[in-house]
Structure 1
Amino acid sequence: MTFGKGNHLHLIDGSAFIFRAYHALPPLTRKSDGMPVGAVAGFCNLLWSELTSTRKETAPTHLAVIFDAGSITFRNEIYDKYKANRPELPEDLRPQFVYTRKATKAFNVACIEQDGYEADDIIATFARRAREAGGTVTIISSDKDLMQLIGDGVDMLDPMKNKRLGLEEVFEKFGVAPNRVVDVQALAGDSVDNVPGAPGIGIKTAALLIQEYGDLETLLERAGEIKQPKRREALVDNADLIRISKRLVQLDGDMPLDIGLDELEVKPVEAEVVMGFLQEMEFTTLTKRVSERLKVAAPVADTAKLVEADELAEAVQVPFDVAGYEKIDTMAALDAWIARIVEVGHVAVDTETTSLDEVQAELVGISLCVDAGRAAYIPLGHKQGGGDLFGGAELVAGQLGLDQVLAALKPVLEDASVLKIGQNMKYDWKIFKRYGVEVGPFDDTMLMSSAMQAGLNGHGMDALSEKYLGHTCIPIKSLLGSGKAQVTFDRVGIDDAVKYAAEDADVTLRLWAMFKPQLHRARVTTVYETLERPLVPVLARMEMAGVQVDRQTLARMSGAFAQKMLGLEAEIQEAAGQPFNVGSPKQLGEILFDKLGLPGGEKGKTGAYATGADILEDLATEHKLPGLVLDWRQLAKLKSTYTDALQDHINPETGRVHTSYSITGAVTGRLASTDPNLQNIPIRSEEGRRIREAFVAPKGKVLVSLDYSQIELRILAHVADIASLQQAFKDGIDIHALTASEMFNVPLSEMTSDIRRRAKAINFGVIYGISGFGLARNLRIPRAEAQGFIDRYFERFPGIKEYMSDTVAFAQKNGFVQTLFGRKIHTPEINAKGPGAGFAKRAAINAPIQGTAADVIRRAMIRMPAAIEALPATMLLQVHDELLFEVEEGASEALIKVAKDVMEGASHPGVHLKVPLTVEAGVGATWAAAH
């Protein structure tokens, strides 16, 4: 066939895809010899998907896989530092390259590479020739460097996301059309490929400049006209390097090629050749798929009960297809599924309910998945007709009974020999628990992701599916709607529910198959298995227990706050010299900066002055109005966020407030409390502390608070190896007084409260990387004096400065920091330049300290239920370093003894802290009294 009009050429960027498959897919080894083949498996699945594509309008008539022949190309002659910073190939990836080329040939696809040129240049040349011959081109890649080729008749396809990239996506990425992409890249440079570019100019700025001046050469010729000094200097001083950069990023679409377009025609796959290769590689799942398509015999499959992790990893590559999802509406079908679950030994399970509030949600259906690509949904509570969203509707006919389904599933969901797999299993655990089923043992893909990728990405199922499976899940809004028209899941049609719910279980199983073997590779297996997964049932029970809150106390507080706010409003308006809306930042800004003429007024994009808390705190020394507004805002927040809102959160059935803890809410491992947030109740102000008075013990019981004393300072003393601080903690000396004595040369016997207060601010400030400016604001002292305090602190405790610099250096080299227990917190911005660099460094310094403290209290919480099992006590809340219990009046002392022993002994057996952990206890009828 002569290539011409009507032909469609697909060009697979083989080199780029190998790297992407390696980093995105789970490690996979050949069982016979242990050779790594994960990237090869991903590559083969891509090829097979291309060859069996059902997209007729975009299916290829011609196809080639393009590889890089070597690391040295003509670009190294242009700029000898080009790609000089690229890291060495991972040891388990290096041997896989030869097999990707073998795979290409085994599938009877053209395999092309050429010395002296990169794969991108070969792709550019073929794309040009194909367009000149009248055909169309699709480039299978997500490489941004290839986006310059997009245009009439040429598009790209991101194979991992199955997303087409055209002109709109180019503009979204670069801010210009494809024909100006190289100009933007030349200015912005590329740190990965060591393309120099213009210092300080990123993609956004480069796009603005090219849009304004038209093209790179015109911009460079007129660079002296640019008003911004830094931009002007960057362009004028680096013009030659920028031109070199353009030559580096410009693809060569006219390179010599020994092979013509006609030779790239798609050829039939030769069954004997491809089956031989797949069997050699031991790709069980793909071999079966290929054999079914080619109608040839496949090798006998392994029928062992437990599927190997490597086989599961390969199964991730099975295409998504709703045809593999079924509705279970007979007990015979359910029994068959249960038999398969028992046979395999694992099942992904998910629940669909009427609400995100697990305490009140009703079960609507259950989805199951054992094999990737095959999942089922059991509808139980779908309704239609009659009534409204709050009841009165009839169940859709043909659904199994809730009780009989739960009776059938309960044995397998509680079977210790069957692993249950979930995404955010805490939610499903609580739903099943309310219906009398205690799920276990289980794995949680959300927690696996968090253990491996904290700080790099979100851990929700939709985001994980996009990133790791290249699959976009059905959005829940497409079923429920939004706004006033939104319905609950029990009003979703069963056919739609099957597709949505079964997909959830299918995605969850695939993520588990991918993540499970990666835990060991990432060296976070212990973190996941001892700090993440065991916490789920502990938190679930705490959330279900809830805490009693007195509505009348809250109502009285709301009234008192409202009265006090009215008084403050009168004072504020008197100080302003006129009435105005205190809650209006715009009106406040005009009063402060236009009328009163206070310094530092800056207007934002809306034209209004900024009046944030930090600005008002700075102005509080200039005029009394800003301080009064801060007091008013604090009361307004306490009233709206707590005393008013908490009343709405009291569960009508239990009379208690049931918060929800997010295990993955903070990258450091700190738990996050939501709906309502009970961790951010202010405790520094008298009004904030009073809110805890509304948290009460039922009649005949008391609340017990156990709080770690200065745990982060103790961990700092350990990790920075500060002998004087370690000894002080061992001797029970006031650490803030000791710090003040060390810094200001004041004997402990002569210590004043003001000096101690300053030392306390520095002690805690250092942990969070406080600046002289920040400390000055906290202490209301001149910045130079505050910076002097910090400098003196580091002189007295040089180990802290050394810890900080060592931690930053480790993060810059490795891209993460670690807690004493092995938790990884990734630091993706640690090597960034600009305003965010300081924050990234401070976060890296603080993360091992705060993360270790979080790990300590997690260990305590995990061990607590067994320790207090014999006591009439319940663990209710975790707030930062504090645990709150409800216990019968006569058993509070016994609880304190047991709980303190657990908390003070919560360090890891392999982590020997050089300072003791100390816990302070309190008892009272209210949380305020106990604390």
Structure 2
Amino acid sequence: MSFGKGHHLHLIDGSAFIFRAYHALPPLTRRSDGAPVGAVAGFCNMLQRYIAANEGPDAATHLAVIFDKGSHTFRNDLYEAYKANREEMPEELRPQIPLTRRAVEAFNIPCIELEGFEADDIIATLARQAREAGGRVTIVSSDKDLMQLVGGGVEMFDAMKNRRIDVDGVREKFGVDPARVVDVQALAGDSVDNVPGAPGIGVKTAALLVNEFGDIETLLARAEEIKQPKRRQTLIDHAEQIRLSKSLVQLDDNVTLDFGPDDLELREPDPDALLGFLTEMEFRTLTRRIAEALGVEPPVVPDVAPQEEAGGDDPETPAPAPFEPQAYICIRDMGTLADWIARARAQGWVAFDTETTGLDEMRCELVGVSLALAPGEAAYVPLAHKADGADDLFGGEALAEGQIPMEEALAALRDLLEDDAVLKIGQNVKYDAKVLARLGIRMAPFDDTLLMSYAMYSGLHGHGMDTLSERYLGHGCIPIKELIGSGKSQITFDRVPIDKATPYAGEDADVTLRLWQHFKPQLHAAHVTRVYERMERPLAPVLARMEMAGVRVDRDTLSRMSGAFSQKMAALEAEIHELAGERFNVGSPKQLGEILFDKMSLPGGKHGKTGAYATPADVLEDLATEHELPRKVLDWRAVSKLKSTYTDALQEHINPETGRVHTSYVQSGAATGRLASTDPNLQNIPIRTEEGRRIREAFVAEEGKVLVSLDYSQIELRILAHIAGIEQLRTAFREGQDIHAMTASEMFDVPLDEMTPEIRRRAKAINFGVIYGISGFGLARNLRIPRGEAQGFIDRYFERFPGIRDYMDDTVAFAREHGRVETLFGRVIHTPEINARGPRAGFARRAAINAPIQGTAADIIRRAMVRMPAAIEGLPAEMLLQVHDELLFEVEQGAEDALISTAREVMEGAAEPVVKLDVPLVVDAGQGANWAAAH
């Protein structure tokens, strides 16, 4: 068939499909030989779905899948550092690449790659040829580099978000027409591909310049006309770098090919070839599905891998109903709302989500709620959307018409949300629960898809709704920025028109429901039901209560500390200037680098992208083992961070209504199960320095109350002693010895009665460092001693405690074989990078070694927190904060001892009855008017 008018060529970016498939799925191996095939499974599903949807006016008559071949192209000859920053391909993906080529051939689709050229260049060439022949082209990709090809019969299609990208879509992305995209990219550069661009110029500024002056050559020729001095000088100084960048981003649409669009006519697959390949891969469900579509009898497929069975189907099983956001209804009257509530009660579950004016649950206002009863069947209930430009009788902004009064709607919803016979399904339920709690509604019981994902896939990927939807439903959600914008022009959700809010909000509930249906059956098969049911789900309401309680922070104390820190910084600056022999801006990495590496000729100076020396903390820590000036700079930076991050910033986080700071805990923030703290982050307040410990003085008890701190003593070392079977450590813990002094005595042959604080300090650093797989370099930094001496300490440590090395080797071997490690309580922590090479290998190994220890410690304190509210219910006390191994309470004066006794019993017995440790858990307690005094 001669390609021409009326024909439509679809060009699929094969590499994008592969990486999308790889990152979307949990590890999947072929049972017969253990070969990784997860990316192949996802790739085949995506390809099959795309072909199945090939109908209508945009259907393909011609089709090809284009791949990159090799990593070296003509662009590397132009610029050696091109794409130098890209990470190595994951080891488990590498053997799957040729299998995806075979998959394309099995589907009877042309599979195209060419040495020396990127897939984008081949796509550009075929698109030009098809356009010149009078046909249409659809490029199946979301890659911004391909947007320069759009126009004149060429469009792009983002298969993940089911969205076409035309000329208007390119303008929305880059602020210019497609023909000028390369000029914008040449100025803005690209950190992913290591395209240098013009320093300090981003996409928005680049678009402004291009729209005003035209292409790059015109812009550079007229650079003197630019009014902003810094921008003008940047273009003048980096003109050649900008020209080079344009050469790197400009696609080559004149690649010599021995075929053309005529040769890419859409062909039916050969059933024997396609089903034979799928059978070889052991994809049972996909084989059956395609056999049915081809009208042939499906072949017998061997039993699938356990991971596939855990999902009950092949990865990325199609959703039961298509996503049609425009089909979601808007509930504007009580009769319709009552019908939905009645249906939810009848079936016993409902997916639920809130829309609010912001992300701070303690200050935002409820705008509306969404419900879903079945896949594809969702509704939005607007409650507080503002009318555009209208005022109410009292001079405030009027509400938009067609909304149920807030009080009436909440009264009806309260009965549903508080009904113990109806399961509420949410994504990050803790947020919605806090919003509703401020309105007097207690939402229970619930299931949380975020926590289900976290329990099953910790360490593999994030657990936000958009991520999970793309990975497990193959659906890209409507971006919130499309509704509220971004930056200075961003609006709050109550100003979004209801007709635009309905598809977005309804989709949230619909996606959540589908994720729940996908995840719920997998919990048992993945052996994480206990983790989800006993730790993750019951912990969420405990955290919500703590977050709403908050902790009082004294603004005056913070202000005084800020002043003291300013004086300390000034004193350190004076010492630094004296050591340097001149005054300079200590906060300027550029000036600091010139002092360290040019003037003082210290080793390790490396230039960053801007041409200035890089002076990150690790560089300074290395230098600090040899010289005083970098030590003082590190001290200055530490005090500066305390001031900016805590004593200044914490004042902004004091809630004006409560006078307290309300942090938010992220349950899924760390793969190991440790909680993360945000807005503000209270987990990272430094306590190793005197200045850092003083920050806690600003956290105070209310009048008539006391703060009580209970802290696990050396819990991770105790867990290590149990897991690794280190008898010396077990004995020391059982006998209540000073573990760091005992370690120092063992290592350095120093009797306990002759122990010095310095020797004990070094043993303590080694004890905790070994848990995190510390290297000689890292220990040298911590102790500020030469690397050789630090490595000698570590070597001696392993000689005295050989069981630790055995534990490390065994744990890494298990991780490499199974792709995961586990805590004593069954928490699964995936280790996808454990077989990586290069710099990532060491990090992955250390993470795998530490995860069972840190994860078990996190599980223990989680179990304690879940049990704590019931235990202290009769006491005038409230649990306020969790920071690593510590819990902080506020209690009425006179009840401190009763609280300490009760809470200590809960914490010290938290591992039982599931785990019986060989060493006792010990909890230290303290009390005082402020956190520093209590700890």
Distance 1:162 1:777, change over 3 A: same
Pair 1:47–1:766, CA change in 2 (3 A): closer
Cα shift at 1:613: 2.7
Q: 1:133 to 1:533 in 2, by over 3 A?
A: same
In the alignment, which of 507, 510, 514 is matched to residue 506 of structure 1?
A: 510
Task: State TM-score, norm by structure 2.
Answer: 0.73
Residue equivalent to 1:912: 916
Query: Counterpart of 2:383?
Result: 380
Alpha carbons of structure 1 residues 595 and 64: separation in structure 2 relative to 1, 3 Å: closer
What secondary structure is seen at the aligned counterpart in 2 of 1:533?
helix
Which residue in the other structure is 2:866 paired with? 862
8 Å Cα contact 2:26-2:457 kept in structure 1:
no
Q: Please give the residue correspondences for 1:202-601 in structure 2 after superposition, counting only pairs within 5 Å.
A: 264=268, 316-384=319-387, 385=389, 392-601=396-605
Decide whether aligned partners of structure 1 residues 331 and 370 sit closer, same or farther in structure 2, where only a CA change above 3 A counts.
same
CA-based RMSD of the aligned residues comes to 5.1
Q: Is the 1:573–1:580 contact (alpha carbons within 8 Å) kept by the matching residues of 2?
A: yes
Shift of 1:46: 8.3
Pick aligned residue for 1:673 from 677, 681, 696: 677
Q: Distance in 2 between matches of 1:761 and 1:351?
A: 47
Q: 1:840 to 1:903 in 2, by over 3 A?
A: same
The question of whether the paired residues in 2 share the 8 Å contact of 1:2 and 1:262 is answered with no
* Cross-structure match for 2:229: none
User: Once the two structures are aligned, what percentage of the paired residues are identical?
Assistant: 68
> Residues 800-811 of structure 1 correspond to what in structure 2 (within 5 A)?
800-811=804-815
Pick from 700, 708, 714 the counterpart of residue 710 of structure 1. 714
**Amino acid aligned to 2:333:** T
Quick one: which of 687, 690, 711 aligns to 2:691?
Answer: 687
Structure 1 residue 489: Cα displacement: 1.1
SS in 2 for 1:707: strand
What is the CA distance between 1:758 and its match in structure 2? 1.4
- Residue 6 of structure 2 is aligned to residue 6 of structure 1: yes
For 1:592 and 1:161, the matched residues in 2 are separated by 50
Which residue is equivalent to 1:606? 610
What is the SS of the residue equivalent to 2:453?
Answer: helix
* 1:642 corresponds to 2:646: yes
Cα distance in 2 for partners of 1:783, 1:310 equals: 53
* 310 and 161 in structure 1: CA distance in 2 versus 1, 3 angstrom threshold: same
Structure 1 residue 852: Cα displacement: 0.8
SS of the aligned residue for 1:737 comes to helix
Q: Tell me the distance in 2 between the aligned counterparts of 1:623 and 1:329.
A: 71
Look up the match of 1:923: 927
Equivalents in 2 of 1:491, 1:498: separation in Å? 13
Q: Report the 3-state secondary structure (helix = DSSP H, G, I; strand = E; otherwise coil) of the residue aligned with 2:424.
A: strand
Q: Of residues 882, 887, 907 in structure 2, which corresponds to 1:883?
A: 887
Q: CA offset at residue 348 of structure 1?
A: 1.2
Deviation at residue 774 of structure 1 after TM alignment: 1.6
For 2:550 and 2:922, how far apart are their aligned partners in 1? Answer: 27
Residues 517 and 545 of structure 1: CA distance in aligned 2, closer, same or farther (over 3 Å): same
Residues 329 and 400 of structure 1 are in contact (CA less than 8 Å); yes or no, is this contact kept in structure 2?
Answer: yes
How many Å apart are 1:455 and its aligned residue?
A: 1.7
Q: CA deviation at 1:520?
A: 2.5
The equivalent residue for 1:790 is 794
1:469 deviation in Å? Answer: 2.2
Tell me if the contact between 2:328 and 2:377 (Cα under 8 Å) persists in the aligned partners.
Answer: yes
What is the deviation of 1:403? 0.9
Taking the aligned partners of 1:602 and 1:493, their CA distance within structure 2 comes to 52
Contact kept in structure 2, 1:313 and 1:514, CA below 8 Å: no
The whole-number CA distance in structure 2 between the counterparts of 1:580 and 1:845 is 43
Question: What is the one-letter code of the residue matched to 1:782?
Answer: P
SS across alignment from 1:352:
strand
CA contact (8 A) 2:624 2:781 kept: no
Any conservation in 2 of the 1:42–1:317 contact (CA below 8 Å)?
A: no
1:490-518 deviation per Cα after TM superposition (whole angstroms, max 9, x unaligned) = 11111111121111111111222222222
Q: C-alpha offsets along residues 872-921 of structure 1, whole Å, 9 cap, x if unaligned? A: 11000000000000011111111111111110111153322111111000
CA contact (8 A) 1:3 1:262 kept: no
**Residue 659 (str. 1) matches residue 660 (str. 2):** no
**Structure 1 runs not aligned, ≥5 long:** 28-38, 66-82, 88-99, 101-110, 144-149, 170-202, 206-249, 267-280, 287-307
Contact 1:25 1:42 in 2 (8 A): no
2:293 paired residue number = none
Shift of 1:334: 0.3
Hey, what's the Cα distance between the residues in 2 that align with 1:312 and 1:619?
A: 50
How far has the Cα of 1:869 moved from its partner? 0.7
**Counterpart of 2:725?**
721
Alpha-carbon distance change, 516 to 251 in structure 1, aligned in 2, over 3 angstroms: farther
- Paired position in structure 2 for 1:59: 59
The residue that corresponds to 2:619 in the other structure is 615
Note if 1:627 corresponds to 2:646: no
Cα contact 2:625–2:781 (8 A) shared by 1: no
Q: Is the Cα contact below 8 Å between 1:136 and 1:153 reproduced in 2?
A: yes
Q: Secondary structure in 1 aligned to 2:682?
A: coil
Given candidates 705, 709, 714, the residue that maps to 1:701 is 705
* 3-state SS of paired residue (2:773): coil
CA 1:928/1:413 → structure 2, altered by over 3 Å: closer, same or farther? same
Please give the alpha-carbon distance, in whole angstroms, between the structure 2 residues aligned to 1:515 and 1:387: 46
Q: Which residue of 1 aligns with 2:834?
A: 830
Deviation at 1:366, TM superposition (A): 0.5
Query: Compared with structure 1, are the counterparts of its residues 590 and 86 closer, same or farther at alpha carbon in structure 2 (3 Å cutoff)?
Result: closer
- Give me the whole-angstrom Cα distance separating, in 2, the residues matched to 1:465 and 1:506: 10
CA distance in 2, matches of 1:13, 1:591: 49
Give the drift of 1:603. 2.1
Distance in 1 separating the partners of 2:535 and 2:405: 38
Secondary structure class of the residue paired with 1:876: strand
Contact 1:309 1:513 in 2 (8 A): no
Partner letter of residue 324 of structure 1? A
Q: What is the distance in 2 between the residues matched to 1:755 and 1:346?
A: 61
CA–CA separation in structure 1 for the residues paired with 2:829 and 2:61: 47
**1:320-343 deviation digits (Å, cap 9, x = unpaired):** 112321111001110111122122
Which deviates more from structure 2 when the two are superposed, residues 624-633 or residues 309-318? 309-318
Inter-partner Cα distance in structure 1 for 2:557 and 2:486: 36
